[in-house]
Amino acid sequence: MSLSVNCEGKTDSEVVELAKENPDYLACLMERYEEKLFYYIRRISFFSKEDIEDILQEVFIKVYKNLNDYEDSLKFSSWIYRITHNHTVDEIRKRGGKKTAISLDKDDLFKFIKSGVNLEKEVAVREKMNKVRAVIEQMPLKYREPMILRFLEEKSYDEIMDILKKPKGTVATLIKRGKKMFLSQIDPRIHSL
């Protein structure tokens, strides 16, 4: 993307302030977040590439319309992930939660396995990729999403709290239960973390 404005060296908050005055700066935010948000939507939903691109376009429209409501007491990344989360969950509900196939690549699956779960010694990764994918697909969204935010998106607990609008204890509980659910499905011999 060729930008007509210079965003280099500017923080997200600075770019937001500039975008409030000049909408061309929204392109900077789109450039910074488009790929990350695409993969985030892909990871938590079962939507096709085209559907994800449509959702992403709607997310950026919402971001632009609500730019004046952004408060820099919240990290911009948490704010935009929250908008993406809400819109994606709304789309999942609208479509009745129809599943096609969750779209995680091998790097995602490997990160998911390695991310604090440390199953390397317990599981031969190559043999388990399909099982990992199936387990992730079957996890309820309330567990799948915090797990993806934590281990694939590498968000802090505070950022996850802001994105999901849940207290830290709830986030920690959802991640703990999600890990336990994940582990019990991957290897039933594992009973606790």
The domain ranges of the chain are 12-94, 106-186
Q: What is the distance of C-alpha 107 from the center of its chain?
A: 15
CATH architecture, domain 12-94? Orthogonal Bundle (1.10)
Contact assessment for residue 113 and residue 132, using Cβ atoms and an 8 Å cutoff: yes
For 80-130, what is each residue's pLDDT tens digit?
Answer: 999 999 999 999 888 875 554 455 565 665 565 555 555 444 445 455 666
Q: How far apart are CA 89 and CA 85, in angstroms?
A: 6
Indicate the pTM of the whole model.
0.71
pLDDT above 70: percentage of residues in the chain:
78
Q: Does 193 score more than 60 pLDDT?
A: no
Q: Which residue has the tokens 């890990």?
A: 179
Q: Architecture of domain 106-186 in CATH? A: Orthogonal Bundle (1.10)
Rg (CA), the chain: 18
Task: Give me the count of residues in the chain.
Answer: 193
Q: Is the pLDDT of residue 139 over 60?
A: yes
* The three-state (H, E, C) secondary structure of the chain, written as one string: CCCCCCCCCCCHHHHHHHHHHCHHHHHHHHHHHHHHHHHHHHHHCCCCHHHHHHHHHHHHHHHHHCHHHCCCCCCHHHHHHHHHHHHHHHHHHHCCCCCCCCCCCHHHHHHHHHCCCCCCCCCCHHHHHHHHHHHHHHCCHHHHHHHHHHHHCCCCHHHHHHHHCCCHHHHHHHHHHHHHHHHHHHCCCCCCC
More confident residue, 123 or 10: 10
Interatomic CA distance for residues 130 and 117, integer angstroms: 17
